[in-house]
Amino acid sequence: MHRINHGFLIGFIVFALSACAGMDGGGSGGASAPGEMEIRTGVVEQVTDTQVQTNHDTGVGAILGGLGGVALGSLIGRGTGRDVAMIAGALAGGVGGNYAEQRQYDKPQEAQQIIVRMKSGVLVSVTQPVNADLKPGTKVYIEGQGAGARVVPQND
């Protein structure tokens, strides 16, 4: 019975920590079928170097830290003191693991803000990772829309 309680406690802690993991917004917001992508054409008007903050918070750091904290907490004491040490270890490990993951992956990345004049005369701005082939006057495709849009040069 005691093992069942520990198994339940560990399972609950893992579940609770995984619920804290970041979720991707998903959803394209468009009416196109999965796998389809709108492609538009235009000419690059302006390219500005910038930086973007990444967001790779998958929650893996929190989960692994929490599991490590439970493992270390299980080595301390007996009975309810051990249970308290496991819970405290899970919480501290989860917070520490999440912090470590953010420090590793949430660093600003070099990017470009590209302004493209469409054939209709409308200006479209896209911020994306650096592409050295994009310069003012370059004919380009704009693939996708919203946060998933990318500017790629046309290969004539």
Cα dihedral sign, 19-23-26-27: positive
Rg (CA), the chain: 24
Please, where are the H alpha helices in 40-140? 60-73, 79-105
pLDDT in 10s for each residue of the chain, 156 residues? 555 666 666 766 666 656 555 444 444 444 556 666 667 889 999 898 887 766 666 778 888 888 888 888 888 878 888 888 888 888 888 888 888 877 777 677 788 888 999 988 888 888 888 888 888 999 998 888 787 888 889 886
Which burial class, exposed, middle or buried, applies to 116 when counting CB atoms under 10 A from its CB (0-12, 13-18, 19+)?
Answer: buried
Residues 6+ apart with CB under 8 A from 31: none
Residue 10 to residue 137: CA distance in whole angstroms? 59
